[in-house]
Amino acid sequence: MSLTYDALTHYPTRPARKGEALAPRKAGAQAEPGLRRRFDVLAVGLAFLFALLAWAKPGIVVSLLPRMAEVYASIGLPVNLRGLAFEHVAARLEEADKGRFLTIEGLLRNISRKKLDVPRLRLVLSDGMGNPVYSWTASSGIGALPPGETAPFRARLAAPPSEARKITVDLVTE
């Protein structure tokens, strides 16, 4: 034997209370004004927090979003994530008994707060139009560099290309 009954008869609907929705909201319906306002305040707060972080800690922002490095550089605030900076880089051509040599010298400074291992140097010679004509890597001759310290580096190239006009020195990324 089965028992059937009409649910509406046994459980009549009660009147809606103040602030309670009468029927389920349809897709695309507007949210309540209070909820929308809270969302707007949250969005503005997050935007403000990101702007504050971008201003106070650009290194963190660039480590999370590497393309932001270009934005910082364009407004005159370059961000150095490696912690090593080149200083007083100079190049000179030398004539010797065995031919011509290009010597590049400078200083490498540790601008971080920890001791850093110094990677190899990448040197690129470019022509007057900025096109690379020759590149090579060289040992920096520096093992590890304590915080705030500087160390000299030197790289030498025998018989450099005559069309070379510009030298770029960088660190090899590992």
Q: What is the 3-state secondary structure (H, E, C) of 56-93?
A: HCHHHHHHHCCCHHHHHHHCCCCCCCCCEEEEEEEEEE
The tally of CA atoms less than 13 A away on the side-chain side of residue 6 is: 4
User: pLDDT by residue (tens digit) across 90-121?
Assistant: 999 988 888 899 999 999 999 989 999 999 99
State which of 44, 74, 104 marks the end of a domain.
74
pTM of the model: 0.59
Which of the two residues, 108 and 64, has the higher pLDDT score? 108
Asked if residues 30 and 47 have their Cβ atoms less than 8 Å apart, the reply is no
State which of 53, 74, 95 marks the end of a domain.
74
Q: Is the pLDDT of residue 27 over 80?
A: no
Residue 22 in domain = no
Nearest-angstrom CA–CA distance, 7 and 122: 80
Which of the two residues, 7 and 34, has the higher pLDDT score? 34
DSSP state of 35: H
Nearest-angstrom CA–CA distance, 96 and 164: 19
Q: Is the pLDDT of residue 32 over 90?
A: no
Do both 155 and 136 map to the same domain?
yes
Do both 93 and 167 map to the same domain?
yes
Q: Tokens standing for 3?
A: 């028992």
Do both 45 and 70 map to the same domain?
yes
Phi, psi of 63 (to 5 degrees): -70, -30
Residue 10 in domain = no
Q: Calculate mean pLDDT across residues 39-44.
A: 90
pLDDT recorded at residue 57: 75
Residue 120 in domain = yes
Residue 101 in domain = yes
Do both 109 and 167 map to the same domain?
yes
Q: Based on C-alpha coordinates, what's the Rg of the chain?
A: 33
Q: Is the pLDDT of residue 132 over 90?
A: yes
Q: How many domains does the chain have?
A: 2
Residue 158 in domain = yes
* Alpha-carbon torsion angle 142, 148, 149, 150, nearest 10: 80
Do both 69 and 90 map to the same domain?
no
Q: Which residue range forms the structural domain that includes residue 47?
A: 36-74
Do both 126 and 57 map to the same domain?
no
What CATH number is associated with residue 95? 2.60.40
